[in-house]
A and B are shown apart, each in its own frame.
Chain A
Amino acid sequence: MISCNNEPSLQKYFVENTENKDFIALDVSPSILNLDQTKLSLEQKEAMKTFEKMNVLAFKVNGSNKAEFAAERAKVAKILKNEKYQQLIKFGSGKEGASVSFVGDDEHIDEFVLFANKENAGFAVVRILGKDMNPTSIMTMMTALKNSNINLDQLKPLQEMLEKK
C-alpha cells in the first residue's frame, strides 16, 4: 500500500516459495504433451513453438498450516490484482474457486496464469509461459492436444496431493 517499488510478482513468489515445505513446485516442459511430431500439421508445429513451459506451485493444507494457507492464498490473490494480470474468467464460491488471467496483449501473450483454490485442500498457481502466444495459436494448440498422449508422470506430485485431500 505504501510503496509500489517493491512490487511483488508471481515470478518472485514462485522463487521464494519453491523451497518452502508447505509447497510443491513443479516445472513442466512441453514434452509432457508427448506429441507425435510427425502427425502435427505445420500450423500446429508453429503454435507449439510458442509454448515454452509450465510452472506449477501448489500449497497443500494439512492439520497445522491453515493460517499459512489463508495468508498465502491472500498473497497470490493480491499479486493477481495487479493490472499486469488481466483476468479472463473467474469461477467459484467463497470456499473454492478458480480464475484464469493473462499477461501481455491480445496478440502477444507472454503468460497465462491459472489460480485454483479449495478450502481445506490447498491452492495451486499454474503459469503457462510462452513467447508471443496468440488466440489463434492457442486454439491450434488445443486441437493438437486432443490428439496428444499426455504423459502424466511429470504431474505425479500434484496427483498425490489431490488424492490425499
Chain B
Amino acid sequence: MKSAIQKLVFALAIAFMPMLNFAQGAFDKFDGQDDVTSIIVNKKMFDLMSKVKTDASDKEAQQYLNLIKKLDNLKVFTTKSTRVENEMKASANSYIKSAGLEELMRVTENGRNIKILVKSGSSDTQVRELLMFIEGGKGEDTVLMSLTGNFDLNEISTLTDKMRFPGGDDLKRATKGSKGPKGAK
C-alpha cells in the first residue's frame, strides 16, 4: 500500500515537473490572461542576437551587443484592467520584498506613478534585475516590466535608444548619472 502511494507521488512529481519549469517567475501568472498583453524575450533570443557578427568599427553596435550578452530575460506585462492592475501591484510589492529590490527612482507624471527598482550585483552600478512599474489611468496601460541579467546600469541607455519599450524614456532618465559618477572602465 505504502509503495503504491510512493509510486503515485513519484508519478505526480514527474508529471508536474515541466510545469514547475515554466512557473519560475513571480509574474508568470499574468502570462496568458485574457486582459493582459505580455511580451517575453528569453535568454536564447539575447544569446542569438549577441552572436550576430557586426562591423567591429561600429562602436554603437558593439556596445549594444555587449549589453545583450549580459541579459537573461525580459518580461513585459501590460493591462487596462483595474483588477489586474491591483493584482500586479500586489505581486510586485511582495516580490520587491522577497527579492530585496531597492528603489532607484520614483516619478509622478500626469498623475501616473512610475517606480523603478533594481537588485544590485557586485558593484553599485552592476544590476541583476531591473523592475519597472507604471500605474495606469486615463485609458493608459499599466505596465510591469522585469529585465534580468548581469549588466551595468549605465549600459541600459544604449538599449532604450535601440528598442522602444514602454517607459523607456523614464528609464533613461533614471539610469543617467543616478548612482554616482560613471566609472571609467
Contacts and interface: CB of A to CB of B under 8 A. Distances in A.
Interface of A: 1, 81, 86-95, 97, 102, 106-107, 134-136, 138-139
A139 B64 CA distance: 15
A93 B35 contact: yes
B36 interface: yes
B48 A88 contact: yes
Nearest to A82: B18
Contact of B36 (A81, A90, A93): A93
B7 to A, nearest CB: 14
B51 A135 contact: yes
B38 A87 contact: no
Nearest to B53: A136
Q: Is the interface of B mostly helix, strand, loop or mixed?
A: mixed
A106 B47 contact: yes
B134 to A, nearest CB: 18
Chain B contact patch, size range: 20 to 34
Contact of B39 (A87, A90, A134): A90
A92 B35 CA distance: 10
Contacts of A136: 51-53
A136 B52 CA distance: 4
B51 A94 contact: no
B45 A93 contact: no
A94 to B, nearest CB: 4
B180 to A, nearest CB: 35
A88 B36 contact: no
A68 B2 CA distance: 42
A135 B68 CA distance: 14
Given A90-B40, A94-B33, 6 more contacts: A1-B15, A87-B42, A88-B41, A88-B42, A89-B40, A94-B32
Contacts of A87: 42, 44
A107 B51 contact: yes
Contacts of A89: 39-42, 45
A91 B36 CA distance: 11
Contacts of B39: 89-91
5 contacts: A90-B31, A106-B47, A135-B49, A135-B52, A136-B51
